[in-house]
Amino acid sequence: MSDVDVRVVGPDERSGNTGQTPGGLHRFEAVSNELTGSQRMWMGYAVLDPGGMTGVHHHGESETAIYVLSGVTRWWVGDRLDDVREARAGDFVFIPPGIVHWEQNASDTEPVEMIVARSTQEAIVVPVEGHPHAPEHAR
């Protein structure tokens, strides 16, 4: 028998906003070693504010899977950060390790709510300072 048992994490038990990405993206840890004893994964809840846009970043060695609960979000990718992927409520998004990108809420009035899962034990976010094709808001 394991020392770790089935654990339910309610909204009020999620860790505070991890605040790793400026620009209106709020991440809240829910499944992790610290909160649940998880050994190989991280999972959480994220909200991208209306009109929110993150800085340019990547997730290091971590694979990232996202399920969009509500809203419409865009991921800007590619060498010039000019190739857009749009996801709506009900869509899944996969971001491979090391893929440089930035995110944008397509709405100025409604937040985007997402469930985020990572293949690493922490929610790795690596800012990419000085990217030559960073959008104006991220410079």
| Segments making up each domain of the chain, as ranges | 16-130
Rounded Cα–Cα distance for residues 96 and 86 (Å): 16
**Residue 98 is encoded by which pair of tokens?**
């090391």
The DSSP bridge pattern shows strands 112-118 and 64-70 to be antiparallel
Q: How confident is the model at residue 75 (pLDDT cuts 50, 70, 90)?
A: very high
Q: What is the pLDDT of residue 8?
A: 86
What value does the mean pLDDT of the chain take?
A: 90
Q: What is the mean pLDDT of residues 63-89?
A: 97
CATH, domain range 16-130? 2.60.120.10
Q: Which H or E run includes 36?
A: helix 33-36
Q: How confident is the model at residue 1 (pLDDT cuts 50, 70, 90)?
A: very low
Q: What is the mean pLDDT of residues 21-26?
A: 76
Q: What is the pLDDT of residue 35?
A: 87
Rounded Cα–Cα distance for residues 113 and 44 (Å): 11
Rounded Cα–Cα distance for residues 75 and 11 (Å): 26
Residue 53 pLDDT greater than 70, yes or no: yes
Q: What is the mean pLDDT of residues 118-138?
A: 90
Q: What is the mean pLDDT of residues 76-104?
A: 97
Residue 100 has a CB neighbour count (10 Å cut-off) of: 18
Q: What is the mean pLDDT of residues 34-53?
A: 92
